[in-house]
Each structure stands twice: as C-alpha cells, then as structure tokens.
Amino acid sequence: MEQEKVSLYVVPTPIGNLGDITLRALDILKSVDSILAEDTRTSGFLLRHYQLSRPLQSFHIFNEHKALQSVIQRLKEGETIALVSDAGTPGISDPGFLLVRECLKNKLRIECLPGATAFVPAIVKSGFPTDRFVFEGFLPHKKGKQTLLKELAEEERTLILYESPHRLVKTLEQMKEFFGGERLVSVSRELTKLHEETFTGTISDTLLHFQKKEVKGEIVIVVNGKEKRSKDF
C-alpha cells in the first residue's frame, strides 16, 4: 500500500550554532516546494550557508491568521511545504500551532522532525530534576504576570521559562519576591553560541550576577521545584 504523501514538514533549525542542524532537515529543506519562515532574512542566511535555494514566504505571529487558508489551499493542491522558525522547533513559543491544527482538520499529513529547542540543554545543564517539569514559555509582559508567578511559586516540578534580555532582571526581582531568595535557579543565555553562559545559584545570587552586567541573547530560566512538605502522621 502506497504511503500517504506528506504535505507539511515541521523542521527545527539551530538555536545558534549552524552545525546543529540535522542531515534529514537539510534533505527536507532541499526537497520541498517552498518554505514558510518566521523571518525570511534569518532563514535565508541559513539556506545560503548550506547552499540551498527554495522559495521563502513570511509566516509569523503577525500574519499567520491571514495567511493560513491560502497555505492550506496550496497544500491541498499538492504543494509540499516546510515550516521553520528563526531558531528551534516551530510551535514551541513560535508560530506553528495554528497551521498544524488546520492541517489536521483538513486531513493533510504532517511530519515533525526532531531537533533543536532551547529548553532541553538548559534543563539538563541546570542539574535540577528532569523526570518531571513544567514549561511555561514566555510570561505575560504586564497583566497577570505577578499572579502567575505567585501560582508557579508553589509548583513542585522543575519550572522552565523563556525571557528576553531586557526583562530578565525585573523577572528575577519578582521571582525573589514570590519564590524566595534562596530558591535555586539556573539561567542560560546564548546557548550553543560563542558567548554561551549558564549561571546557577540562588535567586538572590543570580539576580546580583545579572544586575552587574549588560544582558544579551535569548534567555532560558530553569527553577528548582518547591520542596515537598513532609506529611504529618
């Protein structure tokens, strides 16, 4: 029985070091009819680095609703498309969820390749438990942020957050308020890049460390879960 044709390939791209792309990802990017890219400039640089040439179309958080149906129609007509984000796996704090959901509704076959995502090396490097964890992605910028942090302070599993460099210090200050200064935290930035850094310590020490420097790069915050209270018998 002939296998159903794949319409959409979800292709992870390196989070920094271009050498981290998989051989299969390169084969897919070389063979598809076109590529949906979060930023065509960023993806264009990756394609040129590997001497690949495929039509690129912008597909990002600001236009995905508008572009969705036209992409679905192209897939129905037999076009094969790869979806990539600027870095990491599409759909993980990046565009992709809406397109995947719509493909499933239209019975279009999807394949998601395994590959880079920033929180995996960050949690492994933290030394905190990896058997059970909670991924919260980016916190709200303003409304609801403190309420959510107060709730997350009670989480007993390892907690993973994404943050931008200009908000890191403020977030650590708020975490100190709700989690307590002695809770252990691990902050990784510029993962896989030349100036990669991971600082692990108490929230108080980590806050002090990043208050003293100009913070650059994408940030992953890993927080040790709240200690379980011993039950009274």
Strand order in the sheet with 34-37: 56-58, 34-37, 81-84, 8-10, 110-112
Instruction: Please tell me what DSSP assigns to residue 17.
Output: -
Residue 136: per-residue pLDDT: 96
The span from the CA of 41 to the CA of 55, in Å, is: 12
Instruction: Please tell me what DSSP assigns to residue 13.
Output: B
Closest among 178, 177, 152, 163 to 210, alpha carbons compared: 163
Q: How many CA atoms lie within 13 Å of 167's alpha carbon, on the beta-carbon side?
A: 17
Instruction: Please tell me what DSSP assigns to residue 12.
Output: -
The span from the CA of 72 to the CA of 79, in Å, is: 10
Q: What type of residue sits at position 197? A: E
Q: How many CA atoms lie within 13 Å of 205's alpha carbon, on the beta-carbon side?
A: 10
Q: Could you give the angle at the alpha carbon of 119 between the alpha carbons of 115 and 125, nearest 5°?
A: 105
Q: Which residues of the chain have pLDDT under 50?
A: 1, 233
Q: Which residue has the tokens 């990046």?
A: 94
Quick one: fold of 119-223? 3.30.950
pTM (two decimals): 0.91
b/e code 54-68 from CB counts within 10 Å (16+ = b): bebeebbeeebeebb
Q: Are 189 and 216 in contact (CB under 8 A)?
A: yes
Q: What type of residue sits at position 174? A: Q
Residue 3: per-residue pLDDT: 64
Residue 233: per-residue pLDDT: 44
Which CATH number does 8-112 carry?
A: 3.40.1010.10
- Domain locations along the chain: 8-112, 119-223
